[in-house]
Homo-oligomer: A and B are copies of this chain.
């Protein structure tokens, strides 16, 4: 399994992915799911992939090697598409191309053709955008109303994003919230695992991008886990008990 989350904020993008890939519980590997396609001063595009690893890798290869544009016939790559919409269309085309090559054989072996891709970034002088491309090649886009997209094991990490993320959230808070959302997922699903890959992109900067690999044992991530659990414990204790509860029940030993 996988968990990837992308935040589409007024200030820019936060993209966070785990790196665990598994084929059964006893065959676990570490594969980067976050890929960056950066041409300084010209474009910063990043993808995060979930689903079948062979399919994701084929798609990522194809968008770098290029595919002929369905109308013009001109070969296009992730480095040549003129806009983020063009990039989404290219990824979509790549997904369908991979399906054409491998879909039938996979189906015959009962292997689902399962892939979801988050695609975020900006081409110079164009709009910053964040897309999610599905296995059928269709895609949706994050907007101000729904400023985050998730792929993979998304449910455990969604409540904190639902409650706390708006498009006005700063990049710094966005990084913290993405890490908290990931932590909730790591605790609940063994097939999502460290290290984590993080990308932070400042809107309209093209080169204002930084990536970090957060390794197991990372001091900051450990601190955020502890502080967050402690803050939650304090928060629910501070909420008064319901007046309709008959009780009285003995107090919490930790109080």
Complex alpha-carbon distance, A177 and B252, angstroms: 13
| Interface assignment of A25: CB less than 8 Å from any CB of chain B | no
In the complex, the chain B residue whose C-beta lies closest to that of A179 is B242
Contacting B at CB under 8 A, from A210-255, are 210, 212, 220, 223-224, 227-229, 231-239, 241-247, 249-255
Residues of B within 8 A of A36 (CB): none
Does A62 count as interface, using CB distance less than 8 angstroms? no
Q: How distant is A150 from chain B, measured CB to nearest CB, in Å?
A: 11
Cβ-based interface call for A30 (8 A): no
Does any Cβ of B come within 8 Å of A52's Cβ?
no
Instruction: Known A176-B236, A238-B231; judge A251-B163 contact (CB<8 A).
Output: no
Give the contacting residue for A11; candidates B11, B202, B249; CB below 8 A.
B249
- The answer, yes or no, to whether A160 is at the interface (CB within 8 Å) is yes
Find out whether the CB atom of B159 lies under 8 angstroms from the CB atom of A245.
no
Q: Name A188's contact: one of B159, B172, B188 (CB within 8 Å).
A: B159
Which residues of A are in contact with B by a Cβ distance under 8 Å? 11-12, 155-160, 162-164, 168-173, 175-177, 180, 184, 187-188, 200, 202, 210, 212, 220, 223-224, 227-229, 231-239, 241-247, 249-255
